[in-house]
Chain A
Amino acid sequence: MKMSYREALREALREALRNDPRVFLMGEDVGKYGGAYAVSKGFLEEFGPERIRDTPLAELGFTGAGVGAACGGLRPIVEIMTVNFSLLALDQIVNTAALLRHMSGGQFSVPLVIRMATGAGRQLAAQHSHSLENWYAHVPGIRVLAPATIADARGMLAPALADPDPVVIFEHAQLYNLEDECPADWRCDIARAAIRRPGDQVSLLTYGGSLPKTLLAAEELARDGVAAEVIDLRVLRPLDMAAIAASVQKTHRAVIVDEGWKTGSLAGEIVARLVEECFYDLDAAPRRVCSEEVPMPYAKHLEDAALPQPAKIVAAVKEMLSA
């Protein structure tokens, strides 16, 4: 069945809300407004204000309330409008949600799911457009997911809710309108990376909103006779290093496409691990295609220029392959 990424998320939420009375959704504008990206449109009518809760503009407060609810036995889904705003909630996420199992000597777990939009491309300017997934992927105690396909948008929520520890799900703002077939069996794990396009000359490692761009680049490369393998990381923490290594051991070349800034990025982490674990499989120095290190511009042409684009990916691969 063909559906949009937004619809796939909505279906997953609806299913969770229907199947498990402990599940509730909480966040800014999730109720009456139907969600900043219209994911929860119609939910207030369907599930009522007890389970679809509009919150004040107070990320630290309502995220903390979600942690408490999870400790108390519920299965809260906290929506934060964008990753930029989630910085206000970092204390609850990093110091409480991620640590409580450890700090309580295993007595408490925090089965909390936090969803948030990330990324640029919609001309929402610097304070709504950054890609800070790496901040979360840095922290032990939380699992970080980046659904990049309709199937993952549909399938990742259920295992995330089943996880006894906090899970952060990043929904890239540019993916909401993406439409594609949703496979009949959309169930999936939240542990492994996926090969989105097989190839044997270079591994393009990416996630989230950069996946469609990377697939376009791979297609263009194929027209030029370069067989690129596209790996969708899916899980940003813990990284599926086995899948990454298997691909690079096959292709001997890696280009990481990451919308985050290059410095201190997830892409940097992957390069470091490749060098540590796959050094003797590398036939070229790994490359990164990341966002320019500037606040995300508002102007369309500047925003486009600041982001990873298929042409940049193709250029990086060609530089790597040709003398």
Chain B
Amino acid sequence: MLEFKLPALGADMDEGTLLDWKVKPGDTVSKGQVVAIVDTSKAAVDVEIWFDGVVEELKIPPGERIPVGTVLATLREPGAAPTPAGPSAPHRASAVPPRISPAARKRALELNVDPAGVTGTGPGGAVTLADVEQAAATVQTPPFAAEPAPEKIDRQAEMRKAIAAAMSLSKREIPHYYLAETIPMARAQAWLTAANAGRPITERLLMAVVQLKAVALALRQFPELNGYYREGAYQPAPAAHLGVAISLRQGGLIAPAIHEVGDKTLETLMGELTDLVKRTRAGSLRSSELTDATITVTNLGEQGAELVHGVIHPPQVALIGFGRIGERAWVENGALSLIPAVTASLAADHRVSDGHRGALFLIELRRLLQEPEIL
């Protein structure tokens, strides 16, 4: 028997509201499949399952607000025999939808119980009237159909609270240090212009993905910036999953992850970033995107300020910021010139790394951005 528990969809989450199931008992699920939608304070998140199996029972009805760690569903290992449900159960394929007696179905409707989540004790494992009534008695919270509450959540207020909690924790516990480095962007811009020349508008690359790729490659030499600090110990992450800060039109921001950025082409990254921004703003993120970021990158973009001193998102240990790319007076080889440049900044956790290594990271980032063709 496998238990699928409500994951923490971010360090700031300690409870969530199950909005909907995407599977039903008997369904075969595979790792990474979206099985439920859970409302966190930030968004309605498509929650992925992290193992393969066959759904046996859905324990929580939609509409219920539950703490992180609550068992949402039980599953059996792929190929394992179903839990005995009755003498006639074995000849039924596991994919057959659960049997529900007509009386039970009617009563379930009256009581607003989802019969799909009820364990049947009738002949052949059928859900009976008594099963439905017992399920209704067990589930204390009002039934899902009668509870429009999840949609009524003042998401802006909830998000503000969530950001407040995470950032307070960060500033309270993480000893930040800050470094900044101005990086010439002439080569990168020239390369990008050339790379985009032959592309239709929809496939053009943005400087943001060039910067993301450079960060991911630079991090390979600086494991102390890419990982989690938890319970007094640092665990470096095996790959760089970059949390990309995306501001929302109604206020607030979310930093969902793009996975394994260092191994992906710029074209792939561009597609993923576009998709991620779209889904973040539509409120349909996947749970792994909310939980997996190993470091955050914030890019202020063309409308932004010159320099950002970031606040680290716990339990991460670093945040990379990019300010606005702008024309700067630049001295090189004793001559003054105007070049496009960006100020990259690093906010890092002094418990894990020191300024010297942080500075070397920024230098490496600068070097990589001078050779955009290798990205």
Complex Cα–Cα for A282 and B129 (A) = 9
Collect the chain A residues with CB atoms within 8 Å of residue B128's CB. 283-284
Complex Cα–Cα for A302 and B126 (A) = 35
Q: List 5 A-B contacts (CB under 8 A).
A: A282-B102, A284-B122, A284-B123, A323-B121, A323-B122
Q: How many whole Å from B108's CB to the nearest CB in chain A?
A: 11
Instruction: Name the residue on A nearest B106 (C-beta).
Output: A280
Q: How many whole Å from B106's CB to the nearest CB in chain A?
A: 4
A242-263 Cβ-contact flags toward B at 8 Å (1 or 0): 0000000000100000000000
A279 touches B (CB below 8 Å): yes
A283 near B122 with CB under 8 A, answer yes
Collect the chain B residues with CB atoms within 8 Å of residue A125's CB. none
Q: How many whole Å from A76's CB to the nearest CB in chain B?
A: 47
A12 touches B (CB below 8 Å): no
B30 touches A (CB below 8 Å): no
Q: How many whole Å from A216's CB to the nearest CB in chain B?
A: 24
Interface range on chain B (Cβ under 8 Å from partner): 10 to 19
Q: Can you add 5 more A-B contacts, CB < 8 Å, to A281-B102, A281-B103, A284-B126?
A: A280-B103, A280-B106, A283-B122, A284-B122, A322-B86
Interface range on chain A (Cβ under 8 Å from partner): 10 to 19
Complex Cα–Cα for A285 and B103 (A) = 11
Which residues of chain B from 117 to 163 have a CB within 8 Å of any chain A CB? 120-123, 125-126, 128-130
Collect the chain B residues with CB atoms within 8 Å of residue A20's CB. none
B101 touches A (CB below 8 Å): yes
Instruction: Name the residue on B nearest A287 (C-beta).
Output: B123
B104 touches A (CB below 8 Å): yes
A320 touches B (CB below 8 Å): yes
B254 touches A (CB below 8 Å): no
Collect the chain B residues with CB atoms within 8 Å of residue A281's CB. 102-103, 106
Collect the chain A residues with CB atoms within 8 Å of residue B106's CB. 280-281
A282-307 Cβ-contact flags toward B at 8 Å (1 or 0): 11110000000000000000000000
Collect the chain B residues with CB atoms within 8 Å of residue A282's CB. 101-103
B217 touches A (CB below 8 Å): no
Residues of A within 8 A of B (CB): 252, 279-285, 319-320, 322-323
The residue in B85, B101, B105 that gathers the most chain A C-beta atoms within 10 A of its C-beta is B101
Instruction: Name the residue on A nearest B99 (C-beta).
Output: A285
Collect the chain A residues with CB atoms within 8 Å of residue B103's CB. 252, 280-283
Complex Cα–Cα for A284 and B104 (A) = 9
Known: A319-B123, A323-B121. A280 touches B86 (CB 8 A): no
Collect the chain A residues with CB atoms within 8 Å of residue B120's CB. 323
Which residues of chain B from 61 to 120 have a CB within 8 Å of any chain A CB? 85-87, 101-106, 120
Complex Cα–Cα for A200 and B103 (A) = 15
A323 near B102 with CB under 8 A, answer no
Collect the chain B residues with CB atoms within 8 Å of residue A279's CB. 102
The residue in A252, A281, A284, A323 that gathers the most chain B C-beta atoms within 10 A of its C-beta is A323
Known: A252-B129, A283-B122. A323 touches B85 (CB 8 A): yes
Collect the chain B residues with CB atoms within 8 Å of residue A280's CB. 102-103, 105-106
B123 near A283 with CB under 8 A, answer no
Q: How many whole Å from A283's CB to the nearest CB in chain B?
A: 4
B129 near A323 with CB under 8 A, answer no
Q: How many whole Å from B297's CB to the nearest CB in chain A?
A: 56
Collect the chain B residues with CB atoms within 8 Å of residue A285's CB. 123
Complex Cα–Cα for A285 and B102 (A) = 9
Collect the chain B residues with CB atoms within 8 Å of residue A319's CB. 123
Instruction: Name the residue on A nearest B103 (C-beta).
Output: A283
Instruction: Name the residue on B nearest A280 (C-beta).
Output: B106
Q: How many whole Å from A243's CB to the nearest CB in chain B?
A: 19
Complex Cα–Cα for A281 and B105 (A) = 10
Collect the chain A residues with CB atoms within 8 Å of residue B86's CB. 322-323
Q: How many whole Å from A226's CB to the nearest CB in chain B?
A: 13
Q: How many whole Å from B58's CB to the nearest CB in chain A?
A: 19
Known: A283-B128, A284-B128. A320 touches B123 (CB 8 A): yes
Complex Cα–Cα for A302 and B125 (A) = 35
Which residues of chain B from 220 to 252 have a CB within 8 Å of any chain A CB? none
Complex Cα–Cα for A280 and B125 (A) = 19
Q: How many whole Å from A202's CB to the nearest CB in chain B?
A: 12
Which residues of chain B from 312 to 368 have a CB within 8 Å of any chain A CB? none
Q: How many whole Å from B122's CB to the nearest CB in chain A?
A: 6
The residue in A280, A320, A322 that gathers the most chain B C-beta atoms within 10 A of its C-beta is A280
Complex Cα–Cα for A190 and B371 (A) = 102
